[in-house]
Structure 1
Amino acid sequence: MTARLIPLSALLLGSLFLLIAGGINGLILPIRGLNEGFSAFSLGLLGTGWAAGYVLGCIYTPLLVAGVGHIRVFGTLAATAAIVILLSSMFPNPWFWIPLRAVSGFCFAGAAMIVESWLNEEVDSSIRGQVFGTYTMINLVGSTGGQLILIGADVSTPWFFMLAAIFYCLALIPTAISSNRAPAPLFEVKLNIPQLWRNSPVAVFAVLMIGIANGTFGALAPVYADRIGLDLTTIVLFSSLPILAGAAAQIPVGRASDRFDRRKVLVFLAIIALAATSSFLFMRPETALANILIGSALGAAIFAMYPIVVAHASDHAAPGQYIRTSGGLLMLFGLGSIIGPFIGGLAIMLFGPMGLFGTIFGAHLLMAIFSLWRIGQRAQVAADDKASFQSAPLARNMTPETEVLADRQNQV
């Protein structure tokens, strides 16, 4: 297996650098913004800007690649992302940062799509599963590793902005010198909500709520931690460890969803999320350990939900429609990620730091109620007709090309 991965090492290394840069970029902005006195609402809009740019990147990058080619577009996107993070350091103003964050999201999505399309072209079916697993691990290590670099940092300096820019530039090198042939055209995702709804109402409603909850936590967890007086190291851990917990939870959750009604597993996770957010709302933990532990329990639930929703939609998808279904759900997740930070930032501004968990609580309560109602309306899929559950990278880092790389049972 190792020998077969060596030809892909340049692409995987470029992806690692890209994800490290994205991890630093995503956390240094809210932390530095807090030091600059930015409002919770404006910091929430950073998350909204990122998600909007990310969705647009997934939609329009295939058109750019079709015009000038993969290598030129990748180089342009990585260089632009480096310029954007440096401009953010030079002009610390929230209303300047928000559009820059949208540009960053566009660049990150497009660059990730191109790397994944390269992997798709180079991988044959015999090792696709192992390559996807390796890529998933790189995604997790890069994203969380980039965040953990900030532990104990002096965020008042431009050093970490420059470090993120360096990693964006480093991502250029492996792909620029790679001898791998240019990949096929990128997959173009189309969002057809009526068709997705006919396929699975639970998947459509749940993925929108998951996007709202995950987008809110991802954008505003540092704001909550700062508002209650936690130090920088704890802020970083509070933002990063829930992601690791969610990745670890995907294994047992996936096995349970293959065995039982996926909607019931989703409701179970929603109940855990409701319990965790209730702990924040009513217990109001003050110590670093208590916040990290409850936050990790919340992360184990909310960051394991997305693959279940995709698997449930895949169970009901027509033959040959898996990629279109999963790509459409990813766009809906992105729309939720646009809405969530806006609502969460407004809630924190109006009600204080606990507004974060009030927003997340509301999203999961609605999802649980709707899922329970649908369970009574439609029988579960027979075990023999279920698609295989596939663990996934962080949904906020996924693109339509990620779904192609996964090559699940119902892939076109």
Structure 2
Amino acid sequence: MFSSIYALWFLFAGIALIMLGNGLQGTLLGVRAGLEGFMTVETGLIMSAYYLGFLLGSVATSRIVKKVGHIRTFAALASVASAMVLMHSVFTNPSAWFVIRIGTGFCFAGLAVVTESWLNYYSTNKMRGWLFSIYMVVQLSGLAAGQFLLNLSDPGGYSLFILISILVSLAVVPILLTSTPGPVIAEFTKVGIKKLYEISPLGLVGTFGVGIAHGSFLGMGAVYAQMAGFAQDQVAAFMATLIFGGVVLQLPIGRLSDHLDRRTVLTGVSFLATVSALVCLAVGETSITALFIFTFLFGGLSLSLYSLCVSHTNDYLQPDQMVMASGSLTLVVGVGACLGPLTVSAAMRWLGPGGFFIYLALIHGAIAGFAVYRVFMRKAVPLEDQNPFIPLTSRVTPVAAVVVPETIEAEETQSKP
């Protein structure tokens, strides 16, 4: 395992730097939008634009890689992303930021496509599950750690934008220093939404709901904290706590789902996330310590749901269907993430900062309710027929999804006598 990790050090180093910059950028823009006097709904549109760009980049980057290769694609997209970060501080109006965020999302998706295809190609079937677990931890840890960089300077100035640009630019260095040749990107084929719903209604509906939820709190969490009157360091700590919960809780929840009816686990996790959001709403104005404790719990529960939905869907698929279905689910979660910031911003404008957690409670409650409904509509998959849980974040691209199901099939084949 350690030799595989060492061989791919350049990928993990690049990913860590990218996610540090990405984590800081999302929170910085939410805070800066408030300082610039943007309306809450305008900020929601800006945050939705990132996920729209990410969705487009997830699909389009493979064609660019085929023409110019992995390293050139990575370097070009990182350079453009670095420049776009600086453009936020030059053009401080909602329309410009909307366009810039689409471009930023496209670039970050392209960077993810390159790193995930490299990770897939050079990891063995035996080690791929571990490597994806490490990838998930590096992603979320970098995203969480990036929040604390907000405390290094005044968000109303230029310094933090320059810092993000530096981090994104430095991410190219490990990639350029490697002598490992770039892999061939595997194609993914989508399953029609109607067909996917027929196969796994809970998997599809749950994935869409998860996309809305994750887009909402990752995109607008900093705006909520600012509206609630948090100091700058508290905004950073709030967002970091939310994300770090996913680092800690995703694997234990996933392992639990391997030993129980996955629908039961999905229902329980969604219900507990709903309760956690409501507790956050109740204690938000009275105890910041209690708020952070339940924010950690909420983040860990919610960020585990995407992997649960994908794993649940795979339980009802034949091995040759998994690749196509996983590619479709990444696009479904992307569409949900595009809608999340816009819709939660409307709730916050109508209900105030409390609308943030009310909205998140409603989304997770709806997922839990639909999961309960599906329990009574279909027999559970026998535990021995369930596929192993694979930790993923809702920010993976279809390229990552291509190989994950193949890994399950390969590992099952190898385990047979």
| Normalised TM-score (structure 1) | 0.94
- Report the Cα offset of residue 404 of structure 1: 4.0
Aligned: 1:121 with 2:141: no
- 1:333-366 per-residue CA deviation (whole Å, 9 max, x = no partner) reads 1111111111111111122111112221221222
| Cross-structure match for 1:56 | 56
Aligned-partner residue type, residue 20 of structure 1: L
CA contact 2:129–2:390 (8 Å) conserved in 1: no
Aligned: 1:100 with 2:100: yes
1:226-375 to 2 correspondence within 5 Å? Answer: 226-375=226-375
CA distance in 2, matches of 1:120, 1:193: 26
For residue 400 of structure 1, the aligned residue among 398, 401, 406 is 398
Aligned-partner residue type, residue 93 of structure 2: N
CA distance in 2, matches of 1:350, 1:242: 24
Q: What SS does the aligned partner of 1:388 have?
A: coil
State which drifts further: 214-223 or 374-383: 214-223
Aligned: 1:6 with 2:10: no
CA contact 1:114–1:186 (8 Å) conserved in 2: no
1:110-189 to 2 correspondence within 5 Å? Answer: 110-151=110-151, 153-189=153-189
Aligned-partner residue type, residue 236 of structure 1: A
CA distance in 1, matches of 2:67, 2:250: 38
Aligned-partner residue type, residue 88 of structure 1: H
- 1:202-246 per-residue CA deviation (whole Å, 9 max, x = no partner) reads 011111111111111111111111112111111111111121112
- Report the Cα offset of residue 314 of structure 1: 0.5
| Cross-structure match for 2:211 | 211
CA contact 1:47–1:337 (8 Å) conserved in 2: no
CA distance in 2, matches of 1:343, 1:327: 25
Distance 1:154 1:74, change over 3 A: same
Q: What SS does the aligned partner of 1:249 have?
A: helix
Aligned: 1:409 with 2:408: yes
| Cross-structure match for 1:90 | 90
Report the count of equivalent residues. Answer: 410
State which drifts further: 238-247 or 67-76: 67-76
CA contact 1:152–1:233 (8 Å) conserved in 2: no
CA contact 1:43–1:219 (8 Å) conserved in 2: no
Aligned-partner residue type, residue 158 of structure 2: P
CA contact 1:322–1:410 (8 Å) conserved in 2: no
State which drifts further: 118-127 or 104-113: 118-127
Distance 1:315 1:10, change over 3 A: same
CA distance in 1, matches of 2:305, 2:210: 7
Q: Which runs of no fewer than 5 residues in structure 1 stay unpaired? A: none
- 1:281-336 per-residue CA deviation (whole Å, 9 max, x = no partner) reads 44543432132122112112211111111110010011222222222111111111
CA contact 1:202–1:374 (8 Å) conserved in 2: yes
CA contact 1:82–1:169 (8 Å) conserved in 2: yes
Q: What SS does the aligned partner of 1:379 have?
A: coil
Q: What SS does the aligned partner of 1:395 have?
A: coil
CA distance in 2, matches of 1:410, 1:48: 36
Q: What SS does the aligned partner of 1:277 have?
A: helix
CA distance in 2, matches of 1:12, 1:304: 21
- 1:32-55 per-residue CA deviation (whole Å, 9 max, x = no partner) reads 112222221111112211111111
- 1:133-189 per-residue CA deviation (whole Å, 9 max, x = no partner) reads 332222122221222222353212211111111111111122123211121024335
| Normalised TM-score (structure 2) | 0.93
- 1:351-389 per-residue CA deviation (whole Å, 9 max, x = no partner) reads 211111222122122212211111111000001110001
Aligned-partner residue type, residue 408 of structure 2: Q
Q: What SS does the aligned partner of 2:29 have?
A: helix
Distance 1:231 1:378, change over 3 A: same
Aligned-partner residue type, residue 403 of structure 1: A
CA distance in 2, matches of 1:36, 1:262: 45
Q: What SS does the aligned partner of 2:151 have?
A: coil
| Cross-structure match for 2:75 | 75
CA distance in 2, matches of 1:335, 1:93: 25
- 1:246-268 per-residue CA deviation (whole Å, 9 max, x = no partner) reads 22111221122112111111111
Distance 1:186 1:83, change over 3 A: farther
CA distance in 1, matches of 2:288, 2:403: 39
CA distance in 1, matches of 2:186, 2:365: 37
CA distance in 2, matches of 1:162, 1:405: 36
Q: What SS does the aligned partner of 1:409 have?
A: helix
CA distance in 2, matches of 1:294, 1:158: 33
Q: What SS does the aligned partner of 1:376 have?
A: helix
CA contact 2:14–2:174 (8 Å) conserved in 1: yes
